[in-house]
Amino acid sequence: MDATEFRNFGKAAVDYIADYLENLRDRPVLPSVEPGYLQELIPKVAPQEPEKWQDVLADMERVIMPGVTHWHSPHFHAYYPTANSYPGIVGEMLSAGIGCIGFSWITSPACTELEVAMMDWLGKLIQLPQEFLNCSDGPGGGVIQGSASESTLVGLLAAKQRTVRRVQVLHPEWDEATIKGKLVAYSSDQSNSSIEKAGLLGSMPMRLLPTDDKCRLRGTTLEQAIKSDQEKGLIPCYVVATLGTTGTCAFDCLEELGPICNKEDVWLHVDAAYAGSAFICPEFRHLMAGVNYADSYTFNPHKWMLVNFDCSAMWLKDSQYLVDAFSVDRIYLKHRHQDRAPDYRHWQIPLGRRFRSIKLWMVLRLYGVEGLQQHIRRQVGLAKEFETLLRGDSRFEIVTETSMGLVCFRLKGPDTLTKKLHDRLMARKNIYIIAATFKDKHILRFAVCSRMTESRDIQFAWEEIRGQAEQILLGNDA
Ligand code: PLP
């Protein structure tokens, strides 16, 4: 393909994407295909001769779209949002066009330097303490990871490094393997599955501690767990607190957990994957009170801040533990400026890294802080609108306080009613919501996700839910 063809193909693809997004409301949010559907639609082997791009682009509708779950549909209310915006998409295109691998400063100085600057823009925007910023005098700084899951694992490995070093001083007779075998991590039973996975991958038992009646991890619970492990000769190493849990968007009590972690010299990581974007609005910032106690902090602009996946922002108060833990040097990786700029390969698991900060730069400049704040506030407002509709119908109950863009509810009565409601909604495919459990009860989670969701879509979803509930309660639930 030459540049002329690329221009034509690229422009047609941009038109296709714009048409797709602008008309998403008209597509069923969930696909109707069965496993294996795609194998019937494409040849068994790669084509011998080059094909025409027009034919390949046409196959997007024939082959791909029937099997797409439309995450950006205004009727997608499952999980949490995954970001999508035109500035984010163009940022992705430009990043792909440059196609550099910026694992060290010299392998593409702009890639490192824009990331350093964007992480400071973002850190200042949510008013993170100065010591987390790249522009601070100390060893703190920010980096873009691919996912919150990676941030949690990276935090765990840095915590391990710090604890081993500390304990080696206290117990010079213990070797590293002995110390590592005693380390323990903690999070809540509401934390995301990726937290438990980080424990598995990092070979550190992750205790999932019980939460209070608002699904929050409390200080006393952590304190008791730490004490009990210490009595067994174990060494508490890592705590992951969640701001905005996946199930009900609950906020762990950071101001209680933080002082305990600091006193016990336990690394505190904060996972604000979804809700963290809201802290660009001053009125939500009280929910991050206690962040000053944290050693590392993460939120995903790729969830709720309109930066297309992947872009997980992570800050550390002291990046040196990470650099020490992850440093593997080879002569071909060295360069003469390595003391003057971060080599981000030491801050992450892979060696290669994409130019992800371009997306962040595009979104921050083209929306501006005000545009992004408006987006968050609008979605929180839409969740409130849905809550009001539910409250007006006595057959439903709201099970937890509506938090950010998430409403958790159920049909009053036995769980079977709510389960049936969910089954019906899934079968009809007009809206997509997922189920969860809360205090052993079956509940439904309604999240405002797409940037294109409007009041009419909330009304549409409500009519769909209310109508199906009515059928079930009338006994027409065959
Ligand atoms: N943490 C929380 C609280 C989440 O809600 C999620 C995903 O929804 C994650 C972590 C995982 O995020 P990622 O897919 O970026 O690893």
DSSP string computed for 404-426: TTEEEEEESS-HHHHHHHHHHHH
Ligand 1 mean position to 110 CA, how many Å? 29
Q: How far apart are the first and last CA of the chain?
A: 55
pTM, rounded to two decimals: 0.94
Q: What is the pLDDT of residue 336?
A: 60
Please determine, for residue 294, whether its predicted confidence score (pLDDT) is greater than 90. yes
% of the chain with per-residue pLDDT over 90: 87
- Does 151 contact ligand 1 (Cβ within 6 A)? no
Whether residues 74 and 22 fall in one domain: yes
- Does 82 contact ligand 1 (Cβ within 6 A)? no
Nearest to 198, CA basis, from 273, 139, 254:
273
**CA torsion angle for 200, 289, 120, 271 (degrees, to 10)?**
20
Ligand 1 mean position to 167 CA, how many Å? 32
Taken in order 118, 119, 122, 123, the sign of the CA dihedral is negative
- Does 192 contact ligand 1 (Cβ within 6 A)? yes
Whether residues 186 and 330 fall in one domain: yes
Atom number in ligand 1 closest to CA 244: 3
Whether residues 214 and 265 fall in one domain: yes
Domain harbouring 209, CATH code:
3.40.640.10
- Residue 448 located in a structural domain: yes
Among 306, 328, 354, the domain boundary falls at: 354
Atom number in ligand 1 closest to CA 245: 3
- Residue 36 located in a structural domain: yes
- Residue 14 located in a structural domain: yes
- Residue 92 located in a structural domain: no
% of the chain with per-residue pLDDT over 70: 97
- Residue 364 located in a structural domain: no
CB 341 within 8 Å of CB 116: yes
Tally of domains in the chain: 3
Atom number in ligand 1 closest to CA 191: 3
What 3-state DSSP class applies to 431?
A: coil
Q: What is the pLDDT of residue 424?
A: 95
Whether residues 155 and 178 fall in one domain: yes
Ligand 1 mean position to 147 CA, how many Å? 7
Whether residues 411 and 337 fall in one domain: no
Whether residues 331 and 433 fall in one domain: no
Q: What is the pLDDT of residue 182?
A: 97
- Does 312 contact ligand 1 (Cβ within 6 A)? yes
Whether residues 339 and 397 fall in one domain: no
Among 40-44, 46-50, 149-153, 335-339, name the one with the lowest average pLDDT: 335-339
- Residue 148 located in a structural domain: yes
Structural domain span for residue 462 = 369-473
Q: What is the pLDDT of residue 321?
A: 85
Whether residues 431 and 378 fall in one domain: yes
- Does 446 contact ligand 1 (Cβ within 6 A)? no
Atom number in ligand 1 closest to CA 147: 15
- The predicted-structure confidence for 64-91, as pLDDT tens digits, reads as follows 999 999 999 999 999 999 999 999 999 9
Ligand 1 mean position to 393 CA, how many Å? 32
- Residue 78 located in a structural domain: yes
- Residue 308 located in a structural domain: yes
Pick the residue whose CA is nearest to atom 5 on ligand 1: 246
- Does 242 contact ligand 1 (Cβ within 6 A)? yes
Atom number in ligand 1 closest to CA 80: 8
Starting at the earlier edge strand, list the strands of the sheet with 267-271. 141-145, 312-316, 296-299, 267-271, 235-242, 183-188, 206-209
Domain harbouring 38, CATH code:
1.20.1340.10
Whether residues 310 and 199 fall in one domain: yes
- The predicted-structure confidence for 227-273, as pLDDT tens digits, reads as follows 999 999 999 999 999 999 999 999 999 999 999 999 999 999 999 99
Please determine, for residue 428, whether its predicted confidence score (pLDDT) is greater than 90. yes
Whether residues 112 and 66 fall in one domain: no
Pick the residue whose CA is nearest to atom 12 on ligand 1: 148
Whether residues 75 and 122 fall in one domain: no
- Does 187 contact ligand 1 (Cβ within 6 A)? no
Ligand 1 mean position to 277 CA, how many Å? 13
